[in-house]
């Protein structure tokens, strides 16, 4: 079998109606380019009624591969389970409830066929319940099309757009740049799509400025964990770049500082971090950088360090 250009990966859990609607759209779009694209769906041990609907749909539409997990791997675990199965040049993780616009797959194929493109950002709008009320929060920085990147694109883009870079359906990645994550001894987190963005948006990237993707905000699968995501997972995930990438320390620290300072309650955000994470954030950023964020943080740092030393 010839290696495909792109694999569309759709993780899903207890949302058979959403994923079947998504697959129906994707399979319709595939008719003219199915020799270039694989579609893989991973059901994360859904309730039987959802599994049965998905299995039935697959029997009548065998153009995609269906994987049924024997246990729930967690949201990001389901991502990595799919990534392990990908052998195409590019991979696109697609939300089961996100809405695609007609013609999107032709545009995606055109974009990733560009020479040496490592990452494609698909501009998108968000909505809650009514698509007609969709809105944009993305600052494209005046960029459109092919961007010959001097490795500052990701830093600049994150500083402008913050967690918008984490929206999985907006990113198409060169697979070989993500595969190393499968072999790194680290704890995966919901915020790992941020790592996908940073690890792939090096050298040449492509910005699709026309909107072909709509992000449905009302059914976020990690809603219960949103407090942890925004208070400490995002900055901690960025700091992980110091361990697993070649990003300059000054750029990484700058992104974390900008993220914290963008939030009015950043001291509370750090307080809410798990104790070990607080210590690691302070260690990786350096006390000097934290003190520059706010002088009153001196007391916090001293208390935490003293407690840490007592524990040791």
Q: What is the pLDDT of residue 31?
A: 86
Q: What is the pLDDT of residue 262?
A: 77
Tell me which range, 77-91, 133-147, 235-249, is most confidently predicted by mean pLDDT: 77-91
CA-nearest of 195, 191, 288 to 241 is 195
How big is the chain, counted in residues? 312
Residue pair 187/128 in contact (Cβ under 8 Å)? The answer is no
Q: What is the pLDDT of residue 290?
A: 60
Q: What is the pLDDT of residue 40?
A: 98
Q: How far apart are CA 255 and CA 32, in angstroms?
A: 42
**Above pLDDT 70, what percent of the chain?**
89
Does residue 109 register a pLDDT over 90? yes
Mean pLDDT over 34-55 rounds to: 97
Q: What is the pLDDT of residue 152?
A: 87
Q: What is the pLDDT of residue 303?
A: 56
Q: What are phi and psi of 42, to 5 degrees?
A: -120, 115
Which of the two residues, 55 and 304, has the higher pLDDT score?
55
Across all residues in the chain, what is the average pLDDT? 89
Mean pLDDT over 262-276 rounds to: 72
Which of the two residues, 59 and 264, has the higher pLDDT score?
59
Q: What is the pLDDT of residue 139?
A: 95
DSSP, res 230: I
Question: Which superfamily is assigned to 6-221 in CATH?
Answer: Spore Coat Polysaccharide Biosynthesis Protein SpsA; Chain A (3.90.550.10)
Domain boundaries, the chain: 6-221, 226-311
Give Rg (Cα) of the chain: 20
H or E stretch covering 88: none
Tell me which range, 17-31, 139-153, 289-303, is most confidently predicted by mean pLDDT: 17-31
Tell me which range, 22-26, 159-163, 279-283, is most confidently predicted by mean pLDDT: 22-26
What is the per-residue pLDDT across 183-204, written as a single tens digit (0 to 9) for each?
Answer: 999 999 999 999 999 999 988 8
Q: What is the pLDDT of residue 296?
A: 47
Lowest mean pLDDT among 113-127, 207-221, 282-296: 282-296
Count of CA atoms in the C-beta half-sphere (13 A) of 207 = 16
Give pTM, 2 decimals. Answer: 0.89
Q: How far apart are CA 36 and CA 30, in angstroms?
A: 9
**Above pLDDT 90, what percent of the chain?**
69
What is the per-residue pLDDT across 147-163, written as a single tens digit (0 to 9) for each?
Answer: 877 678 999 999 999 99
């Amino acid at each position: 079998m010839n290696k495909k250009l792109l694999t569309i990966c759709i993780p899903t859990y207890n949302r058979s109606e959403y994923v079947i609607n998504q697959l129906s759209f994707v399979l319709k779009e595939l008719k003219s380019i199915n020799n270039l694209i694989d579609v893989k769906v991973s059901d994360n041990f859904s309730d039987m009624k959802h599994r049965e609907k998905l299995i039935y749909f697959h029997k009548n539409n065998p153009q995609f591969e269906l994987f049924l997990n024997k246990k729930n791997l967690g949201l990001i675990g389901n991502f990595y389970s799919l990534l392990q199965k990908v052998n195409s040049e590019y991979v696109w993780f697609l939300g089961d409830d996100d809405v695609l616009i007609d013609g999107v797959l032709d545009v995606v194929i055109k974009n990733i066929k560009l020479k040496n493109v490592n990452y494609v950002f698909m501009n998108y709008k968000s909505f809650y319940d009514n698509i007609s009320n969709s809105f944009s929060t993305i600052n494209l920085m005046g960029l459109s099309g092919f961007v010959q990147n001097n490795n500052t694109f990701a830093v600049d883009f994150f500083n402008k757009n913050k967690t918008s870079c984490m929206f999985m359906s907006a990113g198409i990645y060169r697979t070989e740049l993500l595969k190393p994550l499968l072999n790194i001894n680290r704890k995966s987190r919901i915020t790992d799509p941020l790592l996908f963005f940073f690890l792939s948006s090096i050298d040449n990237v492509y910005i699709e400025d026309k909107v072909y993707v709509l992000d449905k905000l009302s059914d976020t699968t990690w809603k219960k964990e949103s407090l942890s995501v925004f208070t400490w997972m995002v900055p901690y995930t960025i700091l992980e770049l110091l361990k697993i990438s070649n990003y300059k320390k000054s750029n990484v620290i700058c992104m974390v500082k900008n993220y914290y300072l963008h939030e009015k309650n950043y001291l509370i955000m750090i307080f809410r971090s798990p104790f070990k994470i607080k210590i690691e954030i302070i260690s990786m950023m350096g006390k000097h950088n934290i003190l520059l964020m706010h002088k009153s943080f001196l007391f916090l740092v001293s208390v935490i360090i003293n407690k840490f030393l007592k524990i040791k």
